[in-house]
């Protein structure tokens, strides 16, 4: 009986540690999108997670390791959001719905929970290989998703058009967030949406 209780206690501690780890990663995933990789400090991050600074190294070997996990979490959340949009409408409307959601004013304002590609922009190029690797994987996944949803999927040039679509949607959102002219910001998103939306989407 004592052995069983010890085992259960050990399992409970492991589960609690895993839950805490996940909480830190989720807070970090929001923080990097809100403040950038370089603007995300360990002390502030742990405070936001409701933990002490010293507890950080019980979960991560380094700040860089934490950033890599945070990036992976942020990209996974973004991919899940895109999937929810496309699965909530008929297949023929999926691409138009994805574009409308991505290039919406709501998404523009959701910096901490929205697309990491637009939030982090060129910062990713200066990060460690692990961070760049998860970003690259996500870019490929989004391109493949857009290509599969396109009316000309399976035809010559469909993949190349998906490359242009993803580049345009991410670039338009990045610029819409960057400028301090609301009319220009709206125009950037709306022009990109009009240009990219399939004629019968």
Averaged in consecutive runs of 10 residues, what is the pLDDT profile of the chain (201 residues)?
Answer: 53 85 95 94 92 91 94 95 94 95 97 95 91 95 95 89 97 97 98 90 41
pLDDT at 10: 63
Residues 150 and 104: their CA atoms lie apart, in Å, by 20
Residue of 106, 109, 113, 49 whose CA lies nearest to 80: 113
pLDDT at 42: 93
Q: According to CATH, what is the number of the domain 2-196?
A: 1.10.357.10
pLDDT at 11: 81
Domain ranges within the chain, ordered by starting residue: 2-196
Task: Decide: 121 and 174 in contact? Cβ < 8 Å.
Answer: yes
Residues 194 and 201: their CA atoms lie apart, in Å, by 11
How many CA within 13 A on the CB side of residue 136? 8
């Amino acid at each position: 009986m004592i052995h069983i209780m010890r085992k259960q206690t050990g399992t409970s501690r492991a589960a609690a540690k895993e839950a805490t780890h996940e909480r830190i990663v989720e807070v970090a995933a929001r923080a990097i999108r809100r403040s950038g990789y370089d603007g995300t400090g360990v002390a502030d991050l742990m405070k936001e997670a409701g933990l002490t600074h010293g507890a950080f190294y019980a979960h991560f070997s380094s700040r860089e390791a934490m950033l890599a996990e945070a990036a992976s979490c942020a990209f996974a959340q973004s991919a899940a959001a895109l999937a929810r949009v496309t699965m909530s409408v008929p297949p023929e409307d999926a691409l138009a719905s994805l574009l409308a959601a991505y290039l919406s004013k709501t998404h523009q304002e959701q910096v901490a929970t929205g697309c990491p590609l637009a939030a982090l922009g060129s910062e990713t190029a200066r990060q460690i290989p692990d961070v760049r690797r998860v970003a690259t994987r996500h870019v490929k996944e989004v391109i493949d998703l857009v290509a599969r949803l396109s009316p000309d999927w399976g035809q010559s040039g469909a993949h190349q058009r998906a490359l242009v679509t993803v580049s345009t949607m991410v670039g338009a959102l990045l610029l819409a967030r960057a400028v301090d002219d609301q009319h220009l910001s709206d125009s950037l998103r709306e022009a990109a949406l009009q240009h990219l939306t399939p004629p019968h989407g």
